[in-house]
Amino acid sequence: MAGHLPSLNRLRAFEAAARLGSFAAAAVELNVTPAAVSQKVRLLEDRLGLPLFKRHPNGLELTDQGRAYQPGLQNAFEAIARLTEEVRAMRAGPVLTVGVAPALAMHWLIPRLATFNRDHPDIEVRIATGGLMNPLRDDWTCTVRRGHGDWPGYLAEALFPSTLVAVCTQSLAKQLHKPRDLRKVPSIVVAHLRDQWDWWFKAMRIKAAGVSREISFGSSAMAVQAAIDGVGVLVAQLPYVSDALSSGRLVAPFGVPRQQYESWYLAFRSVRAEDAALGVFREWLRREALRQKAKYPITTADDRAIP
C-alpha cells in the first residue's frame, strides 16, 4: 500500500497551500521557496491525474477535488504530529512545547533561545505554531501570545507591553522626511491587520497621509521579512522588529511611539504550574521580557490606548 502513496513532501505542500491560501504562505510554513511549493503541487497533480487548484493571477482556488482532498490530509498530518509527540515524550529528558505566533517566534523568541539552550541543555524546547488565529492546545506546555491575559482555564503572566512602529530600510528612510512622504514609497499591509496603520497615525498625532501603493501579505512574519528586504514601509508590533532595529537592518524614521497597543503574556494550564522545565523557562523568559521593557519603555494603559 505504501508504494502507491504520493510523495509525503508533495502532500504537505498541497495541504499547506490549500489551508493557507497561497504558495507564498505555504513556503514560509515549510521553510522552502514558493516555486518549490508550486512545483511539488504540480507534481502531485500529475501523479493524481487531476487539478487540485485553479490558478488565478490574484490567488488560488481549490477545485472540487482539492476541497475533498485537503480536510482528510490535514487530519492525517495532525494525527501523525500527535503520534510523533507521544513517542518523543518517551525521551529521557524534559520536553517543553511552546505555542507561539510565527512572527514572534522568528523575530523575537528563537533568536534568544540560544542562551536558554546553552544554560539548560537538558531541556528540549519545541516551538509550535500558536498565534491568535490558532486555538490553545492542551499538548502545549505553555504559550506566548498577545491579548488581555484572560484565557479561560489558563494562568497568564504579563511579559511586556507592545506598541506599533513604522519601520523600513535605511535606503527607504532617506525619502521619508515628513509623514506625507509616505506617499512616495509602498506601504506593507498585513491583510487582517489593516487597522494597525490607522492606530499608528493616531498614536503619532499626525493626519493620515495616504499611501501611493499597498503591498499586502497574509501574515506578519512575511510582512516583516518584506520590510527587511526593502519592499516598503511596515507598521509592525515592536517585538517583531526590535532586533532588526538594534542591528540597523531596519530603522524607525518617525521614532518609536510610547503608547501601548497590546500586551504579551506567557500562559499555561494551572496543572502545569509545578512543571520544573516550565519553571526554568518562566524565569528565563521574565529576564528577557525585562530587557525588552528596559530597552523600549511603553506607557502601560488599556490595550490599544491612544492619545
Q: CATH no. for residue 55?
A: 1.10.10.10
The answer to the question of residue 111 being in a domain is yes
Distance, CA of 109 to CA of 273 (rounded, Å): 21
Confidence of residue 1 (pLDDT cuts 50, 70, 90): very low
What is the pLDDT averaged over residues 186-215?
Answer: 85
User: Domain of 225?
Assistant: 164-247
pLDDT at 137: 81
Contacts (Cβ under 8 Å, ≥6 apart) of 289:
159, 160, 264
User: Per-residue pLDDT for 210 more than 90?
Assistant: no
Q: Are 20 and 42 part of one and the same domain?
A: yes
Instruction: Give which of 74, 76, 98, 75 is closest to 16, Cα–Cα.
Output: 74
The answer to the question of residue 256 being in a domain is no
pLDDT at 23: 92
What is the pLDDT averaged over residues 262-289?
Answer: 94
Q: What angle do CA 240, 207, 305 make, to 5 degrees?
A: 50
CA distances from 23 to 8, 53, 100, 227, 256 (A): 17, 11, 22, 20, 34
Distance, CA of 89 to CA of 278 (rounded, Å): 15
The answer to the question of residue 46 being in a domain is yes
The answer to the question of residue 79 being in a domain is yes
Q: Are 221 and 72 part of one and the same domain?
A: no
CA distances from 175 to 181, 244, 245 (A): 7, 20, 18
The answer to the question of residue 239 being in a domain is yes
User: For residue range 105-122, what is the model confidence (pLDDT) as tens digits?
Assistant: 999 999 999 999 999 999
Confidence of residue 148 (pLDDT cuts 50, 70, 90): confident
pLDDT at 163: 94
Number of separate domains in the chain: 3
Confidence of residue 129 (pLDDT cuts 50, 70, 90): confident
CA distances from 105 to 43, 185, 279 (A): 31, 28, 20
In 10 A of CB 286, how many CB atoms? 15
Take residue 39 and report the three cell numbers written for it: 512545483
Q: Are 192 and 116 part of one and the same domain?
A: no
Q: Are 171 and 100 part of one and the same domain?
A: no
pLDDT at 45: 94
| Weakest mean pLDDT among 14-23, 127-136, 209-218, 242-251 | 127-136
Cβ contact 227:169 at 8 Å: yes
- 53-57, Cβ contacts within 8 angstroms, sequence gap of 24 or more: 53/17, 53/18
Q: Are 230 and 285 part of one and the same domain?
A: no
Q: Are 141 and 270 part of one and the same domain?
A: yes
Q: Are 223 and 289 part of one and the same domain?
A: no
The answer to the question of residue 301 being in a domain is no
Q: Are 152 and 286 part of one and the same domain?
A: yes
- Sort residue 49 into left (φ over 0), alpha (ψ -120 to 50) or beta: left
Percent of the chain with pLDDT over 70: 91
The answer to the question of residue 253 being in a domain is no
The domain boundary, picked from 28, 58, 88, lies at 88
Q: pTM for the complete prediction?
A: 0.68
Q: Which amino acid is at 292?
A: Q
| Weakest mean pLDDT among 98-112, 119-133, 137-151, 292-306 | 292-306
Q: Are 132 and 268 part of one and the same domain?
A: yes
Instruction: Give which of 255, 259, 228, 263 is closest to 243, Cα–Cα.
Output: 228
20-45 burial: b if 16+ Cβ within 10 Å, else e: bbbbbbbbbbbebeeebbbebbbbbb
Q: Are 157 and 268 part of one and the same domain?
A: yes
Q: Are 142 and 290 part of one and the same domain?
A: yes
pLDDT at 189: 94
The domain boundary, picked from 88, 105, 127, lies at 88
The domain boundary, picked from 64, 88, 112, lies at 88
User: For residue range 38-88, what is the model confidence (pLDDT) as tens digits?
Assistant: 999 999 999 999 999 999 888 899 999 999 999 999 999 888 888 877 776
User: For residue range 157-194, what is the model confidence (pLDDT) as tens digits?
Assistant: 999 999 999 999 999 999 998 888 898 899 999 988 98
Instruction: Give which of 92, 79, 93, 91 is closest to 139, Cα–Cα.
Output: 79
Q: Are 238 and 268 part of one and the same domain?
A: no
The answer to the question of residue 302 being in a domain is no
DSSP state letter for 91: S
The domain that contains 213 carries what CATH number? 3.40.190.10
Is 234 strand, coil or helix? strand
Distance, CA of 235 to CA of 200 (rounded, Å): 7
